[in-house]
Amino acid sequence: MLGLFFGANAQAAELQVGDAAPAFSLPDQAGKLHSLADYRGKWLVLYFYPKDETPGCTTEACQFRDDIATIQGLGVTVVGISEDSIASHERFAKKYHLPYTLLADDDGKVAADYDSLFSIFGLMKFAKRHTFIIDPQGRLAAIYTDVDPKDHSKQIIAALEKLLH
Q: What pLDDT was estimated at residue 122?
A: 66
Domains of the chain with CATH codes: 43-164 (3.40.30.10)
Instruction: Give the number of other Cβ atoms within 10 Å of residue 113's Cβ.
Output: 16
Q: What pLDDT was estimated at residue 23?
A: 97
Active site residues: 57
E strand segments, the chain: 25-27, 33-35, 43-48, 76-82, 101-104, 117-120, 124-127, 130-134, 140-144
Any alpha helices (H) in 105-151, and if so which ranges?
109-113
Calpha distance 71→12 (Å, rounded):
32
Q: What pLDDT was estimated at residue 6?
A: 33
Burial of 156 (0-12, 13-18, 19+ CB in 10 A): buried
Q: What pLDDT was estimated at residue 11?
A: 35
Q: What pLDDT was estimated at residue 139?
A: 98
Calpha distance 118→133 (Å, rounded):
20
Q: What pLDDT was estimated at residue 115?
A: 94
In tens digits, the chain (165 residues) has pLDDT values of 333 333 333 334 689 999 999 999 999 999 999 999 999 999 999 999 999 999 999 999 999 999 999 999 999 999 999 999 999 999 999 999 999 999 999 999 999 999 999 877 666 788 999 999 999 999 999 999 999 999 999 999 999 999 998
Calpha distance 28→136 (Å, rounded):
21
Calpha distance 110→74 (Å, rounded):
26
Q: What pLDDT was estimated at residue 13?
A: 61
